[in-house]
Amino acid sequence: MAIASLTEKTDGITGKLKAPALMISAAPKTRIQKRNTANILEAALEVFSAVGYNGATVDGIAQAAKMSKPNLLYYFSSKEAIHVTLLEQLLDMWLDPLRALDADGVPKDEILAYVQRKLEMSRDMPRESRLFANEVLRGAPHLSADTKNALKALVDQKAAVIQGWVDAGQIAPVHPYHLIFSIWAQTQHYADFDVQVRAVLPEAEARDPFPTAARHLQQMFERMLAI
């Protein structure tokens, strides 16, 4: 598992800095810049995931990052720039579990492990899940074509792996793309619709739906894939 805290991951920042009438396109260098951009992105994740892009205010993010609004805008040229940076930066991490799906592993184990990793992400990183859910719900207006292509390429590759397992008779016949959608939908459901899940579940389970969810999903995909 070993999911790193967000604030630790400050590499790969693509946010554009702005000196008065000057844009620095390279990655930030100074220690203070790293700290502040990380703080801003952490605060933005908190706010965006809670109230969505339109519901968030620059001032609100600035307060959550414990700095003034103009200071925040010294590091990111606009609210949109923060959002875009956040999305691009987190998508990589978000796809790690799928990337780890190993074509040379035991098919059923690989898929079940993927389900469990994805469910753990819903449990440990619900804000990221809601951020993406919000973005995709609105038609992904802030995701670049490059990012979408990279996502598609990864899914294509892993779908081919799954299809290979089907063809080799190692798992029951499944539509590989829809299988991946099933995994995404069911695992992310526990992050995105958390309040609904807890509102509906009997009290004892509502306190922590994840243990029973994990067992349910394992059961589900085991039966789905059994030869």
Q: Which parts of this chain interact with its own copies (CB under 8 A)?
A: 50-55, 130, 133-134, 136-140, 148, 151-152, 155-156, 172, 174-175, 177-182, 184-186, 188-190, 192-193, 195-197, 199-202, 205, 212-213, 215-217, 219-220, 223-224, 226
User: What is the smallest separation between the CB atom of 79 and its own copies, expressed in angstroms?
Assistant: 13
HSE, CB side, 13 Å, CA atoms: give it for residue 148. Answer: 9
d(C-alpha 200, C-alpha 188), whole Å: 17
Among residues 177, 175, 25, 169, the alpha carbon closest in space to that of 107 is found at 169
Least distance (Å) between residue 132 CB and its own copies: 9
Residues 158/226, Cβ–Cβ less than 8 Å: no
- Tokens matching residue 181: 């959608």
Using CA atoms, how far residue 141 sits from 80, 87, 136, 154, 202, in Å, is 10, 11, 8, 21, 38
The reply on whether position 30 binds DNA by CB under 7 A is yes
Contact residue for DNA among 7, 12, 14, 78 (CB under 7 A) = 78
Residue from 63, 77, 116, 147 binding DNA (CB under 7 A): 77
Residue 67 contact among its own copies, DNA, none, beta carbon within 5 to 8 Å by kind: DNA
Crossing angle of helices 107-124 and 126-137, rounded to 10° = 90
| Candidates 30-38, 115-123, 125-133, 209-217; binding stretch for DNA (CB under 7 A) | 30-38
What are the backbone angles phi and psi of residue 23, rounded to the nearest 5°? -110, 125
Q: Which of 38, 43, 56, 225 binds DNA (CB under 7 A)?
A: 56
| Burial (CB count within 10 angstroms: exposed 0-12, middle 13-18, buried 19+), residue 2 | exposed
Partner interacting with residue 45 (select from its own copies, DNA, none; CB below 5-8 Å by kind) = none
* List 36, 89, 134, 186, residue binding DNA (CB under 7 A): 36
User: Which of these, 180, 173, 184, 186, lies nearest to 158 by C-alpha position?
Assistant: 180
Work out whether 16 is an interface residue with DNA (CB under 7 A).
no
> Residue 100 binds what, of DNA, its own copies, none (CB under 5 to 8 Å, by partner type)?
none
Write out the residues near DNA by the rule CB under 7 A: 17, 19-21, 30-33, 36, 56-60, 67-71, 73-74, 77-80
